[in-house]
Structure 1
Amino acid sequence: MRTNLDFAPLFRSSIGFERMLNALETASRAETIDNWPPYDIIKTGEDDYRIAMAVAGFTPEELAITQEQNMLIVLGQKANGDDVQYLHRGIAGRFQRRFELADHVKVVDAGLVDGLLTIALKREIPEEMKPRQIGIETGQPRSKAQPKQIEAGKHAA
């Protein structure tokens, strides 16, 4: 049973969360039609992740990994064998899998071993966006600065 959630109240009462709310709304509408190739998402550290995807039968030349802003796209396209006549074709010859990435998540590397494609991801928050401690001064409150008076030059007459 599928229920559609109404995110309108959240849009009315939050500022700066449009991207997250749009992602939630899109995810609630999306139907998962295909589930191939199977994959795992593994958290390997505080800011490190790994996607492991079973792509048996594909060579590195038949796979493409692209990162566009906050979207990771994995494509697989088998080379067509025109000299083969299939009576039944049950093995997929192509796929496209998309992963929505959080801000500041970058692909570190990728590898294919024994039909398992692994993609290493790392979240690298810029230094200016990291939390910082603010010092608190004690003592007399600061008074408003008195405007500086510019001395008029004396001219000899």
Structure 2
Amino acid sequence: MKGADLDYVQSLVGSNVNMDLGTFITMDPSVVLSLTVNQVKDLLGKNLPTLKRYENQPLVQNWIRMQYQSQLDQLNLGLVGGRADPTNTSPATVTNNPSASASASASTSMSGATTSGTTISGATTNSTTISTTKGSGTRIQADAGFSLFILMVFFVTCQHSLM
């Protein structure tokens, strides 16, 4: 199996083989790293639980790092170290009265929806952003009100330094 190419190994996937981990870790690393979680599951067959004992072996570690953690979790082996699942965000933004500069800002955040209101020279701008995320990914987003505040401080500081 050491010199087996990807096509040959993939042809074994549907053949009800029960490859032992000793053979699995001697395969060409590029072939192993190209296999999906389901392909490895089918390839190892009844030997799948043994994968947990080999999780610290370098080739197995590299393969784990290439897989999404949610797919590894489906194996019910307790394998960790997979990639975070891609997030699926679909932002919806509603904006009223967009204008040039801000004088005050307030922001509230509740379960995935962010609502901000900004008073602009007597007029108020409200915007709501709703995003949905799948998986356990982390989303980092700057607070628009805080960004506008920093921008205003910068402008005021620049004006005072020019006088």
Alignment TM class, shorter chain as reference: under 0.3
TM-score, scaled relative to structure 1? 0.24
| Higher share of residues assigned strand | 1
Q: Pick 1 or 2: higher relative contact order, CA cutoff 8 A, min separation 6.
A: 1
TM-score computed with the length of structure 2 as normaliser: 0.24
